[in-house]
């Protein structure tokens, strides 16, 4: 029947879990400001919405018929075949229920195949089979209940008694061979018209050949020769009697003997053949008392098909692959082993699943090992690694179809966690590819899974990619309009180690490893001209506490020193890479920070939120006198030195105390310039005691932290307040984007000295040894310390800078899109207001973006047969066919209206009929049909011109 009632869609259990996953990833994106995570979340939300339309489309004009496949005996499986026709692409799921059992199954509407379900039977008698039908989308997220057709009533015959004794020899009562006759197989008694069920041996083929009419020979026998089966011949309860008599009926039918059946409620006259057996078994099946129905067994969860598991394992392997680059090698090997075992189990039934106790032991041991490796299971690295491990364990444990749904959801969640590590365009494309594979694998849960071949993968991916493309406009609308909060919902560590390259303490060798790293620390995009190289000092932690070995940052309340501007302000945008620290690296001196951030008493810009993901902030800096009005307690603290250390350094600086403060600074710089010091990444190890003496008077080789630390000690020994400032120096100019790229190898340390009347003054002792470190870059400073400029970039460097320009634009437009940029964008579009205004814009935007999908969903479905698709294209070209019009009639009508099209129309009809109905491969006929269609298009085009 075709459904004409009002259709209503509701999410399935998998659809509800899918929606909860979308909500969970959205919360994570809000909390950790994962811009690309928003995109993936909204894409999945679009899929969820469009799946509802797909389910409704599948239910529209759907026709489903059901019929039972013959009679069965109690204890056998009753086959019920359902045929779905007329619906659009989707899935029909049927559930059979009766008082004796239940069964369920699904069939894809575009496969053109029927669905046959087998229903268990337990007792004789009439059985009402109720059919429940639902139309689903291809992913199984939504279901549309369909009206239940009338129940199927099937008569279940009694099961024959195994090893029953022979039928009784008692014949029908009679008076001898000639006294009374009845149906039998001894003597010919006449001819009668053929009736269905007559044995072919009884047909009179001589009369058929002469007259063409089917006639059946009638025979009879003495009534005393036909067997009589009586209900009371069988002992036991009614079920045992029915089973014994059923066995006798089958035995006599096999011997082609005539028999009659006497039951308490019915008497079956003498007869033979299939009709007699059917009548006898029907009577036995209905003989009261009928057995009381037993409660049906609970329908077991459908097992997971091996092919469907292979599809899911392919998608899961691709999803987990990036984790191999960042997680411990032993975990990668364990995950690969679990997936390999699951693949073997899916391909061969002889491979047994791993025992549950072993999987549980692996989960506990893996969690403990990860906790020992990372120190926690809550961090970014440990958490994502443990999640990947749990997904592999779940794959090894999977045995039912619902496990495939769980694996799909786990895979999508693992895909979203990849944005913790990178939000580049390659990562975005890879995430969409993983989502497409996982959703394609999810579609194999319903119906028979096809083999995992390249052709099937392409065929299955096509509708998934089409669904994702239809969800793209909705994704863009939500990405642009969904309100972005300014603060996280909660604070949890998203990474297990510091990645910034800077720390809140410095000792000899702290910056050496950073000098080897080309990783980007941040990018700085200036609204005006770039500052000169000598002013590109990016201020980070300020270290004031010194114990003779290590300089440390101190925190505590105190009065804010003065900042007195001396130049024009400079506005710039910083794109910070994830660091796990709250530091905003700004030029001296930062005078304006984003909302919520603040400037410390050491003039360092700090944000309350750690920079756990790529983040864009706007800062304003201005040349200024820093701390002319400074706390005396701070000045006293930054003059102190540990006692009993570095006597030679103290002796060197003691005479300088008589000089004016500025001359003390120059005396120390002159000592460095004239002392044959070397700028190197590989200085000799320094002792624990008197480390500054060993550096200044023995090794004379070091990196920036050596010179900054030694110079600060010299200044304190000379009676001046001094401290070490860490941060970055310089930056690579990208001429394509007119911005600076600051890398980890640009990490630097310098000294600040407090001078009366001037406040804190930056002094870079490294520049006295290697001026190229300020004028050029690190590599130039190491090879040519006195160079005044860096080498011009080569061809490969220019290409790298071009790629970085695209990366920076991607970051600006996509990754760093936050509430501030959202407000600015809407303001440029003339939309004013806060989050409330955005919510009013979301609804109409969603309706507009869903229009293309709605139009596509409403269009008629394309036929699955290639010849029918080509013929449909032909009718659209020339004019739609009338209802019920055959191709030949259509061609005749069109030829009468357009005589010049008669020849190609005739060729098209011949090719179409050959492709559809002729035996053999239709490839040649399809090629001819395409040629005729091209000829018709060309003739129509020339006629219009």
Burial zone of 858 (CB within 10 Å; 0-12 exposed, 13-18 middle, 19+ buried) = exposed
Burial pattern 838-852, b for ≥16 Cβ within 10 A else e, equals beebeeebbeebbee
Looking at residue 753, the DSSP 8-state letter turns out to be: E
Pick the catalytic residue: 108, 253, 706, 748? 748
Token pair belonging to 177: 């061979």
All residues at 6 or more sequence positions from 880 whose CB lies less than 8 Å from its CB, including other chains: none
> What is the phi/psi pair of residue 699, to 5°?
-70, -50
Active-site annotation holder among 157, 381, 403, 704 = 704
Instruction: Say if CB 471 and CB 50 are below 8 A apart.
Output: yes
The answer to whether residues 74 and 121 touch, using CB atoms and an 8 Å cutoff, is yes
Q: Active-site residue 434, yes or no?
A: no
Where in 756-892 does DSSP place strands (E)? 759-763
* CB-based contacts of 19, cutoff 8 Å, min separation 6: 11, 48
704 in active site: yes
Q: CA 78 to CA 878: how far, in whole Å? A: 50
**Residue 489 to residue 473: CA distance in whole angstroms:** 28
User: Per-residue DSSP letters for 767-782?
Assistant: HHH-THHHHS-HHHHH
Rounded to a whole number of angstroms, the CA Rg of the chain reads 43
CA 458 from centre of chain:
18
Please check whether residue 200 is in contact with residue 208, taking contact to mean a CB–CB distance below 8 angstroms: no
For 645, list phi and psi in degrees, rounded to 5: -125, 155
**Does the annotation mark 67 as catalytic?**
no
State which H helix or E strand residue 65 sits in: strand 63-68
Query: Residue 570: beta bridge partners?
Result: 621
Separation of alpha carbons 13 and 143, rounded Å: 10
Distances (CA, A) of 22 to 26, 166, 406: 6, 69, 14
405 Cβ contact list (under 8 Å, min separation 6): 14, 17, 140, 442, 445
Q: Rounded CA gap, 735 and 792, in Å? A: 12
Report the C-alpha gap between 34 and 817 in whole angstroms: 10
State the sign of the Cα–Cα–Cα–Cα dihedral 447, 451, 456, 462. Answer: positive
Within 10 angstroms of residue 830's Cβ, the number of other Cβ atoms is 6
Q: Please check whether residue 702 is in contact with residue 680, taking contact to mean a CB–CB distance below 8 angstroms.
A: yes
Tokens 């509701």 correspond to what residue?
Answer: 10
CB of 364 closer than 8 Å to CB of 394? no
- Contacting residues for 677 by C-beta, under 8 A, at least 6 apart: 700, 701, 702, 707, 769
CA distance 172 to 168: 11
576 neighbors 500 (Cβ within 8 angstroms): no
Which residues, in sequence order, are CB contacts of 453 under 8 Å at separation 6+?
Answer: none
Catalytic residue among 525, 764, 777, 907: 764
Residues 6+ apart with CB under 8 A from 869: 862, 863
Which residues are catalytic, by number?
A: 704, 748, 764
């Amino acid at each position: 029947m075709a459904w004409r009632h009002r259709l209503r869609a509701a999410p399935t259990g998998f659809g509800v879990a899918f929606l909860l996953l979308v909500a969970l990833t959205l919360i994570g994106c809000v909390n950790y400001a994962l811009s690309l995570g928003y995109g993936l979340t909204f894409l999945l939300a679009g899929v969820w919405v469009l799946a509802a339309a797909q389910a409704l489309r599948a239910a529209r004009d759907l026709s489903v018929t059901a019929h039972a496949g013959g009679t069965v005996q109690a204890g056998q499986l009753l086959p019920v075949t359902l045929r779905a026709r007329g619906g659009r692409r989707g899935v029909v799921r049927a559930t059979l229920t009766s008082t004796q059992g239940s069964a369920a199954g699904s069939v894809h509407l575009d496969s053109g195949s029927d669905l046959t379900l087998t229903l268990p039977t337990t007792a004789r008698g009439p059985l009402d089979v109720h059919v429940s039908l639902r139309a689903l989308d291809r992913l199984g997220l939504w279901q549309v209940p369909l009206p239940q057709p009338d129940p199927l009533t099937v008569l279940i015959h009694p099961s024959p008694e195994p090893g029953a004794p022979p039928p009784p020899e008692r014949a029908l009562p009679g008076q001898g061979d000639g006294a009374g006759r009845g149906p039998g197989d001894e003597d010919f008694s006449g001819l009668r018209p053929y009736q269905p069920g007559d044995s072919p041996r009884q047909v009179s083929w001589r009369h058929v050949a002469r007259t063409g009419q089917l006639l059946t020979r009638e025979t009879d026998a003495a009534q005393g020769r036909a067997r009589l089966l009586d209900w009371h011949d069988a002992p036991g309860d009614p079920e045992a009697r029915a089973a014994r008599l059923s066995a006798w009926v089958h035995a006599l039918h096999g011997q082609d003997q005539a028999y009659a059946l006497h039951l308490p409620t019915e008497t079956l006259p003498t007869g033979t053949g299939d009709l007699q057996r059917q009548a006898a078994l029907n009577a036995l099946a209905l003989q009261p008392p009928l057995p009381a129905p037993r409660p049906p067994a609970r329908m077991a969860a459908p097992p997971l098909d091996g092919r469907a598991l292979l599809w899911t394992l392919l998608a899961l392997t691709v999803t987990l692959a990036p984790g191999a680059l960042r997680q411990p090698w032993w975990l990668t090997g364990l995950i690969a082993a679990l997936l390999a075992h699951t693949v073997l189990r899916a391909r061969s039934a002889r491979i047994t699943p791993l025992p549950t106790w072993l999987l549980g032991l692996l989960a506990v041991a893996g969690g403990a090992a990860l906790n020992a490796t990372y120190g926690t299971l809550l961090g970014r690295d440990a958490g994502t690694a443990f999640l990947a491990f749990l997904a592999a364990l779940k794959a090894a444990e999977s045995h039912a179809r619902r496990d495939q749904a769980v694996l799909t959801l786990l895979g999508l969640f693992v895909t979203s966690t990849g944005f913790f590590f990178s939000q580049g365009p390659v990562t975005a494309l890879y995430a969409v590819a993983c989502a497409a594979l996982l959703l394609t694998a999810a579609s194999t849960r319903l119906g028979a899974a096809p083999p995992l071949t390249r052709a099937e993968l392409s065929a299955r991916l096509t509708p998934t990619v089409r669904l994702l493309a239809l969800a793209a406009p909705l994704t863009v609308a939500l990405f642009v309009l969904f309100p972005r909060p300014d603060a996280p919902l909660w604070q949890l560590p998203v990474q297990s180690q510091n990645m910034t390259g800077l720390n809140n303490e410095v000792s000899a060798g702290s910056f050496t490893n950073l000098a080897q790293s080309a990783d980007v620390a941040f990018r700085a995009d200036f609204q005006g001209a770039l500052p000169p190289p000598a002013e590109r000092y990016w201020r980070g932690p300020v270290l004031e506490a010194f114990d003779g070995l290590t300089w440390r940052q101190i925190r505590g309340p105190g009065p804010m020193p003065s900042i007195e501007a001396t130049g024009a302000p400079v506005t710039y945008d910083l794109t910070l890479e994830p660091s796990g620290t709250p530091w905003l690296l700004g030029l001296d001196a930062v005078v304006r920070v984003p909302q919520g951030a603040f400037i410390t008493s050491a003039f360092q810009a700090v944000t309350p939120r750690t920079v756990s993901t790529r983040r864009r902030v706007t800062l304003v800096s201005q040349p200024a006198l820093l701390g002319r009005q400074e706390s005396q307690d701070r000045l006293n603290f930054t003059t102190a030195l540990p006692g009993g250390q570095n006597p030679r350094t103290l002796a060197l600086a003691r005479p300088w105390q008589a000089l004016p403060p500025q001359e003390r600074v120059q005396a120390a710089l002159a000592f460095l310039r004239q002392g044959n010091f070397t700028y190197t990444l590989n200085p000799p190890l320094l002792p624990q005691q008197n480390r500054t003496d060993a550096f200044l008077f023995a090794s004379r080789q070091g990196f920036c932290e050596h010179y900054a630390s030694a110079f600060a000690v010299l200044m304190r020994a000379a009676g001046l307040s001094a401290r070490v400032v860490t941060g970055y120096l310089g930056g690579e100019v990208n001429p394509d984007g007119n911005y600076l790229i600051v890398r980890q190898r640009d990490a630097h340390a310098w000294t600040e000295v407090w001078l009366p009347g001037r406040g804190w003054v930056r002094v870079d002792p490294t520049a006295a040894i290697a001026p190229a470190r300020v004028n050029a870059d690190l590599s130039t400073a190491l090879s040519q310390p006195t160079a005044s400029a860096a080498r011009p970039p080569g061809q490969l460097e220019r290409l790298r800078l071009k790629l970085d320009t695209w990366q920076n634009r991607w970051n600006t437009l996509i990754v760093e899109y936050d509430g501030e940029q959202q407000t600015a964008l809407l303001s440029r579009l003339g939309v004013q207001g806060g989050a409330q205004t955005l919510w009013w814009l979301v609804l109409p935007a969603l309706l507009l973006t869903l229009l293309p999908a709605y139009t596509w969903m409403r269009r008629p479905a394309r036929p699955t047969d290639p010849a029918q698709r080509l013929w449909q294209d032909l009718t659209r070209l020339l004019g739609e066919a009338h209802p019920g019009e055959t191709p030949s009639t259509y061609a005749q009508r069109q030829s009468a209206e357009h005589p010049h099209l008669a020849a190609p129309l005739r060729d098209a009809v011949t090719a179409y009929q050959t492709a559809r109905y002729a035996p053999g491969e239709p490839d040649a006929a399809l090629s001819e049909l395409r040629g005729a269609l091209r000829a018709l298009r060309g003739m129509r085009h020339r006629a219009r011109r």
